[in-house]
Amino acid sequence: MSTTTTAPAAPARKLTCAPAFWWALTGILFTLAGASVLIPWAAHGVRSPRYGGDSISPARTTALLTAQVLLVLTLIACAAHLTRTSLRRGQITLDAGIAAGFLISSWQSPLLDYHDITVVVNQHLAHVNSWGPYIPGWHPPRPQLQIEAPLAVTGVGFGLLILWVWAQALAGREIARRFPRWGPLRRWTAIVAAGIATDALIEAALLGTGIYSYAHAWRPATLFAGHWYGIPLSAAFTATLFTTPFVVMRHLEQSRGTVPWIYRGAERAATARGRNTLRLLAGIGAGNTATFVYLALCVLWGLAGGPMPADTPSYLWPMTAR
């Protein structure tokens, strides 16, 4: 009589070995860090500091108000689209996860002015006192006068960073369609270049409204150098480093059905809710990490820049400069 033996089943891979687990843990840590900054800031009182002496025309004031309304409406539209797409697919999409991460990463905004005034925010925007003093080591000039603009540069602006990813991804699809015989190296080099151009165009539109200005752009590598609307190519290059990994993940998911790297292993969670929680936290972790790297590089680029352009309008002078 013959007997058969059944080989023991291979043990399931542990969830803790998966990228999704570690990105989710990173998301939790960044969220806690943001809470440790924003909660004491709010507890000590939120105010809207003003500093007179500047001049701004009614037309510019209208442009600022219009820009803020449009930015808020765009964020609402993006949130509705991302929510609808995730519900239709029955899971948190890559775009939804990283967009949530970008929005939450807005607590990092003061890092741009960690040591000096790198980016000037127009004080005629709806603004509040900066939460930078609650970030360890933060010490720009006269920190009590630093401001944040939640309806423009800070909260809403960070939430709309997903538009940069979409714009570069759209450029990438167009390049692949027009040049199907290009190899991966040539194609992705072109996509990175397209990302730099896309970022410069978006920044040109935002700078033109007078919402903000680069105070310490490095002039040898700045479009319109010496003017308040100058666009640092270093910032455009850094932004492309920031967006390209997400563009790659989107491309691989859409063209090959590959699970985005930051979500790999989330399927090992026991329930659908657990899988979606892991995906959301992983997106928050990836979005915050990308923002942190981007802001850190912007600070380094700013160390080589300056001085502030002589034609900077008074409404874009730093509140520390007078």
pLDDT in tens, 61-119: 999 999 999 999 999 999 999 999 999 999 999 999 999 999 999 999 999 999 888 88
Q: How far from the centroid of its chain's Cα atoms is residue 256's Cα?
A: 26
Indicate the pTM of the whole model.
0.90
Q: Which residue has the tokens 């540069």?
A: 153
Q: Using CA atoms, how far apart are residues 107 and 132, in angstroms rounded to an integer?
A: 9
User: Residue ranges of the alpha helices (H) in the chain?
Assistant: 19-43, 58-89, 94-104, 155-159, 162-178, 184-208, 233-256, 272-303
Residues 315/52, Cβ–Cβ less than 8 Å: no
Q: Using CA atoms, how far apart are residues 120 and 309, in angstroms rounded to an integer?
A: 12
Q: Give the mean pLDDT of 160-182.
A: 90
Assess whether pLDDT exceeds 60 at residue 2.
no
CA geometry: angle 232, 305, 299, nearest 5 deg: 80
Which tens digits make up the pLDDT trace of 180-218? 899 888 988 888 888 888 888 888 888 989 999 988 887
